[in-house]
Amino acid sequence: MASFGGYQPLGRAWPAIGGFIATRSYLMLFIIGAAISLVAAVVVFFIVPETRPENRIGTIQETTAAAFGGYLRILRNAPFMVLPP
């Protein structure tokens, strides 16, 4: 679970809570998990600022194909793809 500055709400109780819910319904585990994921996505969407810089007037906007072209260049680099990270 997430640690908030060293403080963990409910700490080690999360597995017990999950086990209790699982004894009642596995579907409920997935519903709760989906709800928590949805809340996290909404928080990130509205709270976390955009980091991509705005295009300046007179500059050409990068296309999606150009953005993925960089990845294609990396995938074609055989020594890079063979070496482990």
Q: Which two tokens stand for residue 82?
A: 């063979």
32 CB burial (10 A radius; 0-12, 13-18, 19+): middle
**pLDDT computed for residue 2 by the predictor:** 55
The pLDDT, as a whole number, for residue 3 is 53
Residue 85 above 80 pLDDT?
no
Number of H helices, E strands in the chain: 4, 0
C-beta of residue 48 within 8 angstroms of C-beta of residue 41: no
C-alpha distances in angstroms, 57 versus 26, 52, 60, 61, 74?
54, 16, 9, 10, 30
pLDDT at position 4, please? 55
Is 7 strand, coil or helix?
A: strand
Task: Express each pLDDT in 33-72 by its tens digit.
Answer: 999 999 999 999 999 888 877 777 777 777 888 878 888 8
